[in-house]
Chain A
Amino acid sequence: MKKSAVISIIMAGLAAGGAFAQMAGVGMGGNGGHMGDQQHQTGNMMSSEQSHQMMDSQMMNHEMMRDISGMMGQMSEIIHKMTATMDHGSGSNHDAMKEIGNMMRDLAAQMSEMSTHIERGKMDQATVKAMRGKMELLIKKLDAMQKDGK
């Protein structure tokens, strides 16, 4: 964490330093006296900035968060299905309770693994796919238990 914080501060410092260095030199390169040009370039500069923001041309953080969100959605679905299975009478069945207990342990392990991967910044697609596959299996088991319980 300390290393990350130092990197963060250095990067922010470099960005701010660059910006203020440029700010100090504002207008030095201009030849002045062209208000029409000034309006045109301001319009073009705004269009450039805003069109990128509207288009979201980087998209990267969205994709990363979408991966995390997808796994959180699956975890939420598993918890809901566990509750539904217990509500449908499997709570009185010792074997079913034992199975749900095992699933809860698996789910806790998945949550812990996800947290570790994100913290280490190693949330690559292979990891995401592997974890989602494991959770998909849990969901299928719960679906089967719900069908057996009815």
Chain B
Amino acid sequence: MPHLDIRAANLGSALIIAPIFMFMIGAPAAASANEGLTYYEMSAGYTTGDFGTTNRSDLYRISAVFGYITPRYDLSVTVPYLILPENGGGVKKTQNGPGDIIMRGGLELLPEGLGGFSLGGSLAAKLPTADQEKGLGTGEADYGAFISARQRLYKTRLFIQLGYIALGRTSSEANKGVYLYGAGVWQIIFSGEIYVSFVGRKRAIAEVEDPQEIHAGFLYPLSANHAIKGGVFTGLNNGGPDYGLTMGVVNWF
């Protein structure tokens, strides 16, 4: 029976990841060379919190994102580097190394029409590239599917998001998958954009509350092909982080 479980899980994973890779390989070939923009983003982030346990933990992240975007679809690869200070058994040490790589492909299922409504879908895979022994990753691939509905009202845009992430087969986790939900608003203000959003998800680990967070941030174009972005977030219950911040630069060409 365990063999059957593993086969079923592998088949499920393959069914999810196959469309992502087929999409990533096929979509650029189908589009004309001038249709999209290539972009890269460098960002740094910090997260802290006890996440429902008795210990407080910090995580520092430096991420590089490489992507391609057109009016119909977008593709990206996120390569993080993580710094994770640990304080276990009275011993303080810091683990660091590459994190799990995230591949993502999004498609405009219903492009924005005259009414300002649009619908987008995306698939993502988290590859187990981080060192599990160091605690920088789970050592398992996760796969997610998401949908977002947006409504533009002149300089304001409202959105809601729903998603599901199928988690890798780690015995320590209470759930084999988590669902996510979110809602928010963007507003064009001065020369840039600001946003506030709420994000919640089912907990991946038992004994804590389902994490819920509030995010706020900005995007400010510095020139015709680059912008800075930043954000802060805070958890609304003990399942999420106490707070965190992120800053980054986006370049496109």
Interfacial residues, chain A to chain B (CB-CB below 8 A): 1, 4-5, 7-8, 11-12, 15-16, 18-19, 22-23, 26-27, 29-35, 37-66, 68-70, 72-73, 76, 115, 118-126
Contact = CB atoms under 8 A, between A and B. Distances in A.
B71 A57 contact: no
B59 A73 contact: no
A35 B180 CA distance: 28
Contacts, number: 258
A30 B163 contact: no
Contact of A44 (B89, B204, B245): B204
A44 B222 contact: no
Contacts of B172: 39, 43
B88 interface: yes
Interface residues of B, number: 112
B182 A26 contact: no
Interface of B: 32, 34-37, 39, 41, 44-61, 63, 69-71, 74, 78, 80, 84-92, 94, 100, 102, 104, 106, 108, 122, 124, 126, 135-138, 142, 144, 146, 148, 152, 154-155, 157, 159, 161, 163, 165, 172-173, 178, 180, 182, 184, 186, 188, 190-193, 195, 197, 199, 201, 203-205, 207-208, 211, 213, 215, 217, 219-225, 227-231, 239-241, 245-247, 249-250, 252
Top 4 nearest A-B pairs (CB, nearest first) are A121-B191, A76-B34, A37-B53, A15-B247
